[in-house]
Amino acid sequence: MRPIIPALAGIDAALGARLPVVNAPQPARMSQRPAEVDLRVSVGSLQLKNPIIAASGTFGYGVEFAPLVDLSGLGAIVVKGLSVQPMEGAPAPRICETSSGMVNAIGLQNIGVRAFVAEKLPELRRLEATVVANVFGCTIADYVEVIRILEDADGVAAYELNISCPNVEHGGAEFGVDPVLTAEVVRAARNAAKRPLWVKLSPNVNRIGLTAQAAESNGADALVIANTYPALCMDAHNRRSRLGSTTGGLSGPAIKPITMRLVYEAAKVIKIPIIGLGGIESPEDIAEYVLAGATAVQVGTAHFVDPRATERLVGGLERWCKDNRAPEISKLRGSIEVAGTGSR
| pLDDT greater than 60 at residue 8 | no
List the catalytic residues.
Answer: 165
In-domain check, residue 254: yes
pTM listed for this prediction:
0.90
HSE-CB at 241 with a 13 A cutoff on CA atoms is 16
Q: How many residues does the chain have?
A: 344
In-domain check, residue 339: no
In-domain check, residue 257: yes
For residues 267 and 254, what is the distance between their CA atoms, to the nearest angstrom? 22
- Reported as a pLDDT band with limits 50, 70 and 90, residue 171 is confident
For residues 138 and 179, what is the distance between their CA atoms, to the nearest angstrom? 17
In-domain check, residue 337: no
| b/e code 28-53 from CB counts within 10 Å (16+ = b) | eeeeebeeebbbebebeebebbbbbb
Average pLDDT for residues 188-204, to the nearest whole number? 97
Surface-to-core class of residue 114, CB atoms within 10 Å of its CB (0-12 exposed, 13-18 middle, 19+ buried): middle
Q: What is the pLDDT of residues 15-50, one digit of tens each?
A: 444 333 334 444 444 444 445 899 999 999 999 999
The number of distinct structural domains making up the chain is 1
Helix (H, G, I), strand (E, B) or coil at 112: coil
For residues 147 and 194, what is the distance between their CA atoms, to the nearest angstrom? 9
Instruction: Spell out the residues 6+ positions from residue 299 whose beta carbon is closer than 8 angstroms to its own.
Output: 52, 53, 54, 55, 58, 280, 309, 310, 313
What mean pLDDT is reported for the chain? 91
Average pLDDT for residues 159-187, to the nearest whole number? 93
Would you say the C-alpha torsion 45, 275, 185, 246 has a positive or negative sign?
negative
Contact between 344 and 311 under an 8 Å Cβ cutoff? The reply is: no
For residues 201 and 220, what is the distance between their CA atoms, to the nearest angstrom? 11
In-domain check, residue 342: no
For residues 7 and 29, what is the distance between their CA atoms, to the nearest angstrom? 23
In-domain check, residue 67: yes
The phi and psi torsions of 227 (rounded to 5 degrees) equal: -75, -175
Largest CA distance in the chain: 58
Residue 35's domain comprises: 6-17+24-332
Distances (CA, A) of 15 to 58, 93, 288: 8, 12, 30
Write down the pLDDT at residue 7: 37
Contact between 83 and 137 under an 8 Å Cβ cutoff? The reply is: yes
Residue 203's nearest CA partner among 148, 142, 266 is 266
In-domain check, residue 1: no
Q: Worst-scoring range by mean pLDDT, 97-111, 166-180, 264-278, 329-343? A: 329-343
Q: In CATH, what number is assigned to the domain containing residue 292?
A: 3.20.20.70
Average pLDDT for residues 220-234, to the nearest whole number? 97
In-domain check, residue 340: no
More confident of the two residues 146 and 4: 146
Write down the pLDDT at residue 168: 86
